[in-house]
Structure 1
Amino acid sequence: MRYGSGAVPVLSSPLLRYGLFFVALFAIGGILLPFWPTWMKGRGRDEAEIGLILASAMAIRTFAHVGVGMLADRIGERRRPLIALGIAALLTHALFYPTIGFWSCLAVALLTACALSPMYSLGESAALLAVRARGVDYGRLRGVGSIAFIVAALAAGWLLEGLSGEWVLAMALVMLAALVGTTFLLPDVRVPPAPGRRRRLLALIANPRFLLFVFAAWMLHGSHAALYGFSTLHWLDAGHDKTTIGILWGVGVACEVTLFLFASRVTPRISPLALMALAGAGGVVRWIGLAEVTALPGLVLLQALHGATFGLAHLGAMMFLVKAIAPEDSGSAQGVYAALPQAIGMGVAMAVAGFVYSHHGAAAFLLMAAMSAAGGLAALALRRRWRGEVILG
C-alpha cells in the first residue's frame, strides 16, 4: 500500500486532511438528514411521497456504492474518485432548484444519491487504509465529523426558524462546494490494483460469515429509518419548534462523538461483534421510547442513546472490516457494506416506515425496535463463528 502526500504538502497530517474532508461531508448530513423532509414538504410532497423518494434514493445507492468501490479497487486509488464524486454531487444537487412535481424530484434525488452517497463509503475506505498504514485513530477522525454534524444541525435549525424549507437546499449547496475543496487536500492513498474484481466480489458476497455480518448491520442501521425520515415531522406535530429539533439531533450526535473520541480505549477490549450486539440492545430501548414519548426531557434521554444505536453499531462494523477484509478488497467490501445494509436495507426500511407512519404515526418506531433486536442477535451468532481472522484475502 502506497501512502502519497497528496496535492498540498503543507497539510502533512493525515488526521488533519481527513478531518477537513469529514467535517464538510458530515456538515452536509447535519443539514439534510434533519431538514430535507421539510424542503420536500414545502414543494408539495406528502409523507408517503417523501418516504418513497427517500427509499428510492437509498435503493439506487446500492449500485453506486458497489460500482465505485469496485472501480477504486481496480485502479487502486481513492483520491481521484472522491474528487469526481464531489463535483458531481454539487452539480446534481443544484438541479433540485427547478423541480416542482413528484417525478422530477424523484429523478434528481436518484442522481444526487449516485454522486454523494459513495463519498461516505469510499471516504471510510480511505480512512481505514490510513488506520492500517499510519495508525490513524479512526475514532478521533470520525468524532470530528460527528461534531461537524452537530454544529450544522444546530446552525441549520436556528437559521431556518421562521424561514421556508427552500433555504435547506441553499445551505446544502454551500457545504457541497466546501466539500469539493477538501477532496483536493486528501492524501493520495493507493493499494496494488486488484484484478478479477467481479470474481472476488462474488466470493465476498457468497461468504456466509460476511453475509451474516451484512444482515446484522442491515437490521441495526435500518432501525434508524423512522428516525431519519419522520422524527422531525413527528416532533413538529408534537409542538416542538425547529430550533428544539436541531438541539435534539445535536444531543444524539454529541453522545456519538463522546463514544468515538474514547473509542481507542474500547476497541482493544471489546470485540467488534459485541459492540454491534450492544447497539441492538440499545435500539430496543430507544425505539420503544420514541413510540411513546414526546415530552422534551424524555426525548433528550432517548436521543442520548444514539451513541449506542448508531455509534456502537458503526464502530463495530468498521473494526470488523479492518480485521476481516484484506486491504486490496477494502473498497469493494466497504461498497457492499454501504450498499446492502445501508442502501437497500435502509431503503426497504424507509419505505415500510413511511407507510406505517402515514397510517399509524409513531407506531413505526415499534417496528424499528424489532429490527434492532434481530440485528443484535445476528451479531451474537456471528461472534461464535469468527475469531478475528481475515475471511477473504
Structure 2
Amino acid sequence: MHAPHGMVATAGPPRLFVLRIAIVFCAPMLVNGIALPFFPIWLNTLSMTDWEIGVVLAVPMVVRVFTAPIAGMIADRIGDRASVLVWSGAMSLATAIALLSTEHFWPVLILYTLQGIVYAPYLPITDAIALSGVRRWHFDYSRMRFWGSLAFIVSTMIGGWLAGIFGGAMVLPAMTVGFITTVMAAFIAPRIGKPRRASPISALPVAPTGLAGQMDVQLMMLGAALVNASHGMFYAFSAILWGAEGFSGTEIGLLFSVGVAAEVLFFIVSARLCRRFSLWTMIVFGSAVAMFRWVAFPHDLGFFGYFALQSLHAFTFAAIHVGVQGRIIERLAEEKEASTQGLYFFYNGIFMALTTFLSGYLFAWYGIDGFYAMSVVAALGLVLVLLARSIQPQRMESGGNTNEPS
C-alpha cells in the first residue's frame, strides 16, 4: 500500500491499530454517556437553583474553548500525542474523585471547571491519532469512531437503569468508573510518533489568514454554531424536566440514546445523501428542523412523542455537521484546515456556553417554555446560513460552480 501523494511512507502501522483506537474512543464516551444526561440531575439533588446549574454547566465550556487549543499544541509538539491522553485521563480522574466529597456551589463549580480543562483534549486528541491512521495507512475512520457512539448509547442506558435505582447519587461514582477507563485506554493507545499535521484544536481561536475575505465561510460557521448552541437548554435541563414528568431513568436514558443512534445512522448514509442533496440543503434543512424541534419540545408529547422528536437529532446536528465539513473542504485550501476547524471549535464552544448560561435564567423564569427561546437562537443561525449561501462566490478557484441547487 502506497502512502498518499506528498506524504512519506512509513513502516507498517502499530499492531491492532483499529481495535486499540476503537477502545480509546469508547472510554471517553462512557463518561459522556453518564455526564451529558445525568450530571444536571446530580446538581439538582444538591438543591442548586436553576441559575447555579446553568453556571456550573456553562463555565467549563467557556474555559475549555481556550485551554483545548493549548493542549492540542502541546500534543502536536511532544514526541507522541498519546502521552497527553494519559495526562488528561489521570487529571480528570483526580477531579472526579474530589467531586465525590463536594456538595456546595463554589467547590463544585471550581472542580467541574478544572475537570473541563483537563478532560477537554481527550476526545479531540483521540480523533487526531485516528485521522493520522487514516492518512498514513488508509484505515476506515468510521469503523473506529462508530464504537465510541455505541459506547455512549450503552453507557446512557446503563446510567438510566442505575438512576432508576439510586437516583442522582449514582452519577459521580459512574463518572469516576468512566474516568478510570480513560486512564486505562490511554496506555493502550497506539504510539505513532510526532504528527505530520497539526491537530484541529491546536489552532488558536483566531481566523486563519485569508478567511476574513471568505465571508460566506465565516457566516456559515457562525450560523451552524448558533444552531448547535440552540441545544444548550436541552443538555442542561431536559433530563430534569423528563424526570419531573414521571419518566423513569431508563426512559430518560433511552431518549438520549435514540438521538445518538439517529446521528450515527445519518453518518452511515451520509455519503448517499450527499449524492442526492447539496451540502447547503443539508445545513439549511437541519437548521429549520432545529427551529421546529425546540418549538415542539414544550408541548406534552409523552414518551413516544419525545422519542420521535429526539430522532430529529440526525438533522439538527449530524446533517449540519456533514454539510459544514464538506463546505470547508470545498472552499478552503488544506493548509488552512486546522486553523479553520479551530475557529469553528471556538464558535461552537462560546455560543454553547452562552445558551447554557442563559438557560438557567430562562428555566427559572419560564420553565419548559424557555425552549421557545432556543428556537429563536436556531432561527438566527438559519438566517446567517441563508445569508452565507446567498453571498458565496459564483465560482471557486478550481472553476467549479458553487451555486448549488437547493
Shorter-chain TM band: 0.7 to 0.9
Please give the alpha-carbon distance, in whole angstroms, between the structure 2 residues aligned to 1:248 and 1:169: 21
Q: Does 1:55 align with 2:61?
A: no
Give the C-alpha shift of residue 70 in structure 1. Answer: 3.6
Q: 265-274 or 242-251: which moved more?
A: 265-274
Deviations along 1:133-166, whole A, 9 cap, x unmatched? 4444444444332221111111110122131423
Please give the alpha-carbon distance, in whole angstroms, between the structure 2 residues aligned to 1:383 and 1:367: 25
How is 1:60-139 mapped onto 2 (pairs within 5 angstroms)? 60-73=63-76, 78-139=81-142
Instruction: Kindly indicate whether the alpha-carbon contact (under 8 Å) linking 1:18 and 1:141 is maintained by their aligned counterparts in 2.
Output: yes
Q: Does 1:215 align with 2:218?
A: no
Counterpart in the other structure of 2:4 = none
Instruction: Kindly indicate whether the alpha-carbon contact (under 8 Å) linking 2:35 and 2:171 is maintained by their aligned counterparts in 1.
Output: yes
Please give the alpha-carbon distance, in whole angstroms, between the structure 2 residues aligned to 1:256 and 1:84: 30
Please give the alpha-carbon distance, in whole angstroms, between the structure 2 residues aligned to 1:5 and 1:144: 27
Runs of 4+ in 1 over 6 A off after TM superposition: 2-6, 196-200, 386-390
| AA matched with 2:105 | F
Please give the alpha-carbon distance, in whole angstroms, between the structure 2 residues aligned to 1:150 and 1:53: 24
Q: Does 1:290 align with 2:293?
A: no
Please give the alpha-carbon distance, in whole angstroms, between the structure 2 residues aligned to 1:74 and 1:209: 33
| AA matched with 1:107 | I
Deviations along 1:95-136, whole A, 9 cap, x unmatched? 212222211111011101111122233333444444444444
Give the C-alpha shift of residue 381 in structure 1. Answer: 3.4
Instruction: Kindly indicate whether the alpha-carbon contact (under 8 Å) linking 1:140 and 1:261 is maintained by their aligned counterparts in 2.
Output: no
How is 1:324-363 mapped onto 2 (pairs within 5 angstroms)? 330-341=337-348, 343-363=349-369
| AA matched with 1:278 | F
Deviations along 1:29-63, whole A, 9 cap, x unmatched? 11111100111122332222111111111111111
Q: Does 1:154 align with 2:160?
A: no
Give the C-alpha shift of residue 197 in structure 1. Answer: 7.1
Give the C-alpha shift of residue 314 in structure 1. Answer: 2.6
Counterpart in the other structure of 2:373 = 367
Counterpart in the other structure of 2:237 = 230
Please give the alpha-carbon distance, in whole angstroms, between the structure 1 residues aligned to 2:250 and 2:205: 50
Q: Percent identity?
A: 31
Counterpart in the other structure of 2:16 = 11
Instruction: Kindly indicate whether the alpha-carbon contact (under 8 Å) linking 2:203 and 2:343 is maintained by their aligned counterparts in 1.
Output: no
| AA matched with 1:261 | I
Counterpart in the other structure of 2:246 = 239
- Match of 1:280, SS state, is helix
Give the C-alpha shift of residue 292 in structure 1. Answer: 1.4
| AA matched with 1:10 | R
Q: 247-256 or 221-230: which moved more?
A: 247-256
- What TM-score results when the alignment is normalised by the length of structure 2? 0.83
Please give the alpha-carbon distance, in whole angstroms, between the structure 2 residues aligned to 1:76 and 1:334: 23
Q: Find 1:181's aligned residue among 179, 184, 196.
A: 184
Which runs of 5 or more residues in structure 1 are unaligned? none
Please give the alpha-carbon distance, in whole angstroms, between the structure 1 residues aligned to 2:233 and 2:220: 22
Q: Does 1:38 align with 2:45?
A: no
| AA matched with 1:118 | P
- Match of 1:95, SS state, is helix
Classify 1:193/1:142 alpha carbon distance in 2 versus 1 (closer, same or farther; 3 Å). closer
- Match of 2:292, SS state, is helix
Please give the alpha-carbon distance, in whole angstroms, between the structure 1 residues aligned to 2:63 and 2:205: 22
Classify 1:130/1:214 alpha carbon distance in 2 versus 1 (closer, same or farther; 3 Å). farther
Q: Larger relative CO (CA 8 A, sep 6+): 1 or 2? A: 1
Give the C-alpha shift of residue 237 in structure 1. Answer: 1.4
Please give the alpha-carbon distance, in whole angstroms, between the structure 1 residues aligned to 2:232 and 2:205: 33
Which runs of 5 or more residues in structure 2 are unaligned? 1-6, 399-406
Give the C-alpha shift of residue 80 in structure 1. Answer: 2.9
Instruction: Kindly indicate whether the alpha-carbon contact (under 8 Å) linking 1:76 and 1:192 is maintained by their aligned counterparts in 2.
Output: no
Classify 1:289/1:122 alpha carbon distance in 2 versus 1 (closer, same or farther; 3 Å). same
Instruction: Kindly indicate whether the alpha-carbon contact (under 8 Å) linking 2:229 and 2:352 is maintained by their aligned counterparts in 1.
Output: yes
Please give the alpha-carbon distance, in whole angstroms, between the structure 2 residues aligned to 1:337 and 1:180: 28
Deviations along 1:10-29, whole A, 9 cap, x unmatched? 3143xx33322222222211
Instruction: Kindly indicate whether the alpha-carbon contact (under 8 Å) linking 2:216 and 2:389 is maintained by their aligned counterparts in 1.
Output: no
Counterpart in the other structure of 1:275 = 282
| AA matched with 2:357 | A
Please give the alpha-carbon distance, in whole angstroms, between the structure 1 residues aligned to 2:342 and 2:90: 20
Counterpart in the other structure of 1:315 = 322
Please give the alpha-carbon distance, in whole angstroms, between the structure 2 residues aligned to 1:5 and 1:53: 47
Classify 1:138/1:193 alpha carbon distance in 2 versus 1 (closer, same or farther; 3 Å). closer
- Bigger CA radius of gyration: 2
- Match of 1:262, SS state, is helix
Please give the alpha-carbon distance, in whole angstroms, between the structure 2 residues aligned to 1:235 and 1:83: 36
Classify 1:297/1:114 alpha carbon distance in 2 versus 1 (closer, same or farther; 3 Å). same
How is 1:21-36 mapped onto 2 (pairs within 5 angstroms)? 21-36=24-39
Instruction: Kindly indicate whether the alpha-carbon contact (under 8 Å) linking 2:64 and 2:120 is maintained by their aligned counterparts in 1.
Output: yes
Classify 1:188/1:380 alpha carbon distance in 2 versus 1 (closer, same or farther; 3 Å). farther
